[in-house]
Chains A and B, each alone.
Chain A
Amino acid sequence: MIHEHGLECRDLLGNLSEFIDGGLDDETCEKLRSHMSGCENCRLVFDTTTRTIYLYQTVANETALPEDVRGRLFNTLKLDDLIKPTRRAHES
């Protein structure tokens, strides 16, 4: 599909990562936004990709280091005397 400004769907796809990460100049961003406002498929690919990343980040944020794993790590490193009481149990 070719749209105004000569910007095509594959231009959006090629720039998708940098668009998501905010690494593009204002002019390119504007062109991509304007393309998406008229191209349902690209808007959808953008939305679902952003959501995909968000879901993985959310799940990863919940991953804590299991207490026993942490204990054995400090033990292996001979740092037992320096192991701090768990902070994460209250913080998260």
Chain B
Amino acid sequence: METVAEFSLELLRAGDRVEFARLVESFSVSIYRLALQMLGNQQDAEDVLQITFVKAFQHLGEFEGRSSLSTWLYRVATNEALMLMRRKDASVSLDEEKSDDEGDSFQPHELADWTKLPEGDLLDVEARTQLEKAIRSLPVRLRAVFLMRDIEGLSIRDTGEALGLTETAVKTRLLRARLQLREKLSAYFGERLRQENKK
């Protein structure tokens, strides 16, 4: 989902307003979506969106390349989101937890084959609520990686740069995030499948 628009770094560095407006147009949806999924609150997401671009405008002169520019935006947005989260819960952190090292903690358990459910069922109002619930229940260190990599389409490398993680850490967390979400959705859709079959 990475935007493909090209920007003139020269114009941006020179503080060109038109070029900056194009940048805002291009990335505002992604940044807002990321913040909204991190925080689960529209007002907080809007605050993060505004702060991110205000800071971007102040630091335009420092951008060195297109990749560093988008990574920079995601990094600022994530840091702002984390700060907002910490105001409500001081323990919020991107740091590794002990439990992450317990090797088999992400062994799949739910083995219902719900993939054949019609797409209408997989994306109805109730299912969407469950999708939302599942992602909100992920620890933030996993959620952030999943959102950047799978939703915003950043590479493993850029995700690592934006979050200050090594590529290995990104890969480990991505797998855990995907498997945990799979587990939660499987529990929910598996139950629906059983209800379906009873009919």
Contacts and interface: CB of A to CB of B under 8 A. Distances in A.
Contact of A65 (B28, B57, B127, B175): B28
Contacts, number: 105
B115 A17 contact: no
A22 to B, nearest CB: 12
A63 B150 CA distance: 15
A70 interface: yes
Interface in B1-57: 1, 17-18, 20-21, 24-25, 28-29, 32-33, 36-37, 42, 46, 49-50, 53-54, 57
Nearest to A76: B50
B151 A48 contact: no
A2 interface: no
Interface residues of A, number: 37
A44 interface: yes
Nearest to A75: B50
A47 interface: yes
B144 interface: no
B178 A82 contact: no
Contact of A77 (B54, B128, B150, B185): B54
A47 B115 contact: yes
A44 B32 contact: no
Contacts of A44: 111, 113
B27 to A, nearest CB: 10
Contact of B53 (A41, A56, A73): A73
Contact of A56 (B25, B50, B131): B131
Given A17-B178, A45-B108, A52-B185, A82 B49 contact: no
Nearest to B22: A82
A72 interface: yes
Contact of B21 (A17, A63, A69, A79): A79
Interface of B: 1, 17-18, 20-21, 24-25, 28-29, 32-33, 36-37, 42, 46, 49-50, 53-54, 57, 107-108, 111-115, 122-123, 127-128, 131, 135, 146, 150-151, 171, 174-175, 178-179, 181-182, 185-186
Closest 4 CB pairs of A and B: A82-B21, A17-B175, A52-B182, A49-B182
